[in-house]
C-alpha cells in the first residue's frame, strides 16, 4: 500500500512539472518544431502550414522555408470515383507574421468505378456499355433539341425530354450543329420523320452569369451542359392507341457529377500539374502569444479550360474541375510550446 502511494505521488509530481513546462512559450528563434504544409486534396486546398488538411494559426518565421511532397487517396460519390494525387507545395516565411505558399497537383490519377451514375458519360461524345454488352449512348433527360426544317415538330411536350438509349449519334465537342436524337420518331408514309440538331447554347456562356447556361439537345433542363441521368427504364405494353413504350423509371432531371472532375468520361485518366494555388497566411497575434489567430487567402487556377476541343478533352480526362476562383479562409489555434 505504501509503495502504491509513493508511485501515485511520483506520477502527480511528474504531471505538475510537465504542466509547468508546457506553459512556457518559446521565443520565435527558439521554436524547435518543424512545421509542415498541409496536404489538402479532397477538400480545402493544401499549402499553408498546418496538419494534413487543417490550417493552424501559426506561421513560418522570417527566412524559414519548407518543401513538401505527399501522396493522397480519396473517393467521391456519385460514381464511386477514386482519386490518387501527389500534391507538391513550397512555403517561405517573409516575417514572423506572414508566410507565402504555392501548391500544385504534381500528378493525378482518376478511376471511375460506376460510370452510369455520372452525367458526363451521357454527353454526345461519350458512350456506355450496357447489360447486353452493347456500346452506345445512354438514356438521358435533356432539353429538347432544335428541329431541323421540314421535320415533325414536338409541341406542347414541355422542356423535359427523355432521350432513349442508342438514340444519340456520336458528336464531338463543341456539339453545336451536330445531329441530335430523334426520340424514336422515325415517321411513316403520312408523317415525316423527326430530325433534330444540337442547338446553340444560351445563358451564362453568352455572358449572363446570373444563371446556368442552357444547351438544347445536350444539357439538362436545370441548366448545364451535362444531362440528367436515367438509371433504369420500364416498358408500357402496347394498346389500341400506341405501341410499346419505353419510359424512364429511376432518373434525375438535374446533372449528377463529382465537383473534382465534373466532365470525366474515361474509366481511368492521368494528368500532371492541372490545378495550382498561390496565397498567403497572415498571423494577427504576436508569435509569442499562445493563441494564434490569423487568416489564409489564396487564388486557385486551372491549366485547362473548355474553350476548344483540346481543352475539353483534357477535362474529360479528369485533369481539373475547369473553373477559376479566388477564395479565403480564416484559421485560429492555440500554440503552446
Task: Identify the domain boundary among 256, 288, 303.
Answer: 256
Residues 309 and 282 in one domain: yes
pLDDT at 33: 60
For residues 315-332, give the mean pLDDT: 56
* DSSP label of 2: H
Taking only Cα atoms into account, the Rg of the chain, rounded to an integer number of angstroms, comes to 28
With contact defined as beta carbons under 8 Å apart, do 213 and 201 qualify?
A: yes
Tracing cell 449572363 back to the chain, one arrives at 208
With contact defined as beta carbons under 8 Å apart, do 160 and 141 qualify?
A: yes
Q: Is residue 1 one of the residues assigned to a domain? A: no
Residues 177 and 236 in one domain: yes
Half-sphere exposure of 315 (CA within 13 A, CB side): 21
Q: Is residue 304 one of the residues assigned to a domain? A: yes
How would you label 115-136 residue by residue, b for 16+ Cβ within 10 Å and e otherwise? bbbbbbbbbbbbbbeeeeeeee
Q: State the residue range of the domain holding 234.
A: 119-256
Closest listed residue to residue 276, CA positions, set 88, 35, 52:
88
Residues 281 and 190 in one domain: no
pLDDT tops 70 at residue 21: no
CA dist 150 and 330 (Å) reads 60
pTM of the predicted protein model:
0.76
Q: Which helix (H) or strand (E) holds 81?
A: strand 81-95
Cell triple for residue 292? 494564434
Q: What is the pLDDT of residues 255-293, one digit of tens each?
A: 999 988 899 999 998 888 888 999 999 999 888 888 888
Residues 67 and 161 in one domain: no
CA dist 42 and 108 (Å) reads 12
Q: Is residue 13 one of the residues assigned to a domain? A: no
Tracing cell 480564416 back to the chain, one arrives at 330
Q: Lowest mean pLDDT of 47-61, 179-193, 245-259, 304-318, name the range.
A: 179-193
Amino acid at each position: 500500500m505504501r509503495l502504491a502511494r509513493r508511485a501515485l505521488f511520483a506520477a502527480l509530481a511528474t504531471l505538475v512539472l510537465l504542466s509547468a513546462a508546457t506553459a512556457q512559450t518559446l521565443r520565435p528563434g527558439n521554436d524547435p518544431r518543424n512545421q509542415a504544409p498541409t496536404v489538402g486534396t479532397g477538400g480545402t486546398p493544401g499549402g499553408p502550414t498546418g496538419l494534413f488538411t487543417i490550417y493552424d494559426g501559426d506561421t513560418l518565421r522570417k527566412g524559414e522555408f519548407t518543401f513538401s511532397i505527399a501522396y493522397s487517396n480519396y473517393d467521391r460519390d456519385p460514381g464511386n470515383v477514386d482519386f490518387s494525387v501527389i500534391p507538391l507545395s513550397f512555403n517561405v516565411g517573409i516575417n514572423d507574421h506572414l508566410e507565402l505558399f504555392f501548391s500544385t497537383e504534381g500528378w493525378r490519377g482518376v478511376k471511375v468505378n460506376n460510370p452510369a451514375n455520372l452525367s458526363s458519360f451521357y454527353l454526345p461524345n461519350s458512350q456506355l456499355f450496357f447489360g447486353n454488352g452493347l456500346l452506345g449512348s445512354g438514356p438521358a433527360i435533356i432539353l429538347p433539341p432544335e428541329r431541323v426544317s421540314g421535320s415533325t415538330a414536338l409541341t406542347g411536350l414541355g422542356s423535359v425530354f427523355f432521350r432513349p438509349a442508342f438514340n444519340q449519334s456520336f458528336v464531338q465537342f463543341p456539339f453545336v450543329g451536330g445531329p441530335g436524337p430523334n426520340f424514336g420518331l422515325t415517321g411513316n408514309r403520312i408523317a415525316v420523320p423527326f430530325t433534330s440538331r444540337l442547338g446553340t447554347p444560351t445563358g451564362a456562356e453568352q455572358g449572363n452569369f446570373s444563371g446556368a447556361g442552357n444547351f438544347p439537345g445536350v444539357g439538362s433542363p436545370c441548366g448545364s451542359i451535362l444531362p440528367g441521368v436515367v438509371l433504369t427504364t420500364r416498358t408500357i405494353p402496347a394498346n389500341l392507341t400506341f405501341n410499346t413504350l419505353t419510359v424512364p423509371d429511376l432518373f434525375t432531371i438535374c446533372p449528377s457529377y463529382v465537383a473534382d472532375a465534373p466532365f470525366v468520361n474515361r474509366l481511368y485518366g492521368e494528368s500532371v500539374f492541372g490545378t495550382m494555388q498561390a496565397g498567403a497566411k497572415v498571423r494577427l497575434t504576436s508569435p509569442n502569444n499562445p493563441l494564434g489567430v490569423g487568416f489564409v487567402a489564396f487564388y486557385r487556377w486551372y491549366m485547362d479550360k473548355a474553350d476548344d476541343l483540346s481543352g475539353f478533352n483534357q477535362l474529360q480526362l479528369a485533369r481539373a474541375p475547369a473553373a477559376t476562383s479566388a477564395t479565403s479562409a480564416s484559421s485560429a489555434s492555440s500554440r503552446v510550446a
